[in-house]
């Protein structure tokens, strides 16, 4: 066990999960202001693990999933912790506080989380200004930075495409790739955007504004195979660069009844379903896949690459395992090369 798992996690897990998250982000934000300190953080060997995808170079294929650093506060620190890429967001055109607290719940015995955050973020304009300032300070990370965008809660579903476009246009010059989040279970009716007509309109609207940025779509693990195949066909039609599979699940049958709450379930209970979706996509499409959901150790990550994943992302695994998880995955992959 790492020092984090043995000593720090038992203390942190006595505190409200969102408070812990805020403390962690604040600490990493401060650390990001001192680049010389970051140079002392040991990083996994990268040369054998580098990947070329979407016209970008990834020093290693292990990414931080969207949702952890929603406002882009600690990008240099994530690079220092060994991640090969970072995904900021989900960002909405309008800043919003999200759903009422408490809205993150741990299930430690199952290495799982339930969240119903609701796209809490500062909004596209404020985050864009922060990222522009980071670039001006020459402190921008040397790893790809993705930007995940979603629908503002107050915007009607029929106006969703224009709302996404507003965020995309403001942020387009700042991200290396972009992800359309149409699969969070915590914004009312958002998942209806995965239906064929709505997602067709969304893909068309964004690509009309796109000046060459790789565009991906993040899907729910609760889609039927027919729905998934429709999305894959449209993604090909509109020349999307890939798929992020998957978001959290609303199916909580894998956890005890007394632990179930409204929101999206992530962590180990999502592992099998996320892996099944990866295999289905790779057998029905040539699109690259960023696999996320239930990756809790090096073997889980290796299993995703064996199933055809091009990159992986972690979130809940990072909460339970800490920074050592990135190194463990890197070591597991290097053994397989």
Q: In what order do the strands lie in the sheet with 112-115?
A: 104-107, 112-115, 264-267
Active-site residue, from 152, 183, 184, 285:
184
- Calculate the alpha carbon distances from 301 to 217, 244, 333 in Å: 21, 15, 8
**Per-residue tokens: 35:** 């680049």
- Calculate the alpha carbon distances from 163 to 152, 170, 184 in Å: 7, 11, 16
Please indicate whether residue 50 is annotated as part of the active site: no
**Per-residue tokens: 137:** 């300070």
CA–CA separation, 336 and 274 (whole Å): 22
DSSP letter string, 90-147: EE-SS-B--SPSP-EEEEGGGTEEEE-----B--HHHHHHHHHHHHHTT---SS-EEE
Alpha-helical (H) ranges within the chain are 3, 9-12, 17-32, 35-38, 75-80, 124-136, 160-171, 196-209, 225-237, 271-284, 298-306, 316-321, 324-335
- Calculate the alpha carbon distances from 160 to 89, 92, 172, 202, 235 in Å: 17, 11, 18, 8, 18
> Which residues on adjacent β-strands are paired with residue 51?
58
Note whether 182 and 190 are within 8 A (CB): yes
Active-site residues, by number, are 184
């Amino acid at each position: 066990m790492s020092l984090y798992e043995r000593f720090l996690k038992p203390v942190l897990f006595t505190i409200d999960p969102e408070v812990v998250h805020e403390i962690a982000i604040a600490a990493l934000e401060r650390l990001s202001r001192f680049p010389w300190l970051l140079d002392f953080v040991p990083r996994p060997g990268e040369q054998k693990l580098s990947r070329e995808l979407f016209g970008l170079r990834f020093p290693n294929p292990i990414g931080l999933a969207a949702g952890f650093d929603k406002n882009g506060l600690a990008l240099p620190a994530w690079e220092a912790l060994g991640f090969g890429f970072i995904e900021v967001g989900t960002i909405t055109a309008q800043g919003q506080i999200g759903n009422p607290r408490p809205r993150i719940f741990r299930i430690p015995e199952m290495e799982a989380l339930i969240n119903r955050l609701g796209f809490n973020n500062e909004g596209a304009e404020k985050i864009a200004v922060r990222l522009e300032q980071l670039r001006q300070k020459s402190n921008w990370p040397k790893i790809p930075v993705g930007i995940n965008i979603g629908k503002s809660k107050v915007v009607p579903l029929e106006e969703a495409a224009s709302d996404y476009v507003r965020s995309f246009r403001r942020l387009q010059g700042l991200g290396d790739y972009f992800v359309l989040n149409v699969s969070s279970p915590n914004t009312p009716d958002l998942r209806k955007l995965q239906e064929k007509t709505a997602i067709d309109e969304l893909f068309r609207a964004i690509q009309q504004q796109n000046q060459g940025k790789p565009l991906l779509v993040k899907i729910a693990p609760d889609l039927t195979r027919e729905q998934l195949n429709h999305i894959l066909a449209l993604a090909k039609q509109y020349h999307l660069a890939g798929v992020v599979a998957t978001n959290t699940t609303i199916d909580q049958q894998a956890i005890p009844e007394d632990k179930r709450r409204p929101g999206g379930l992530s962590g180990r209970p999502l592992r099998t379903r996320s892996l099944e979706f990866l295999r289905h996509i790779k057998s029905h499409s040539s699109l690259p896949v960023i696999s996320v959901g239930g990756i809790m150790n090096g073997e889980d990550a290796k299993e995703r690459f064996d199933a055809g994943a091009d990159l992986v992302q972690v979130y809940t695994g990072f909460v339970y395992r800490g920074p050592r998880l990135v190194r463990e995955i890197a070591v597991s992959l290097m053994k397989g090369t």
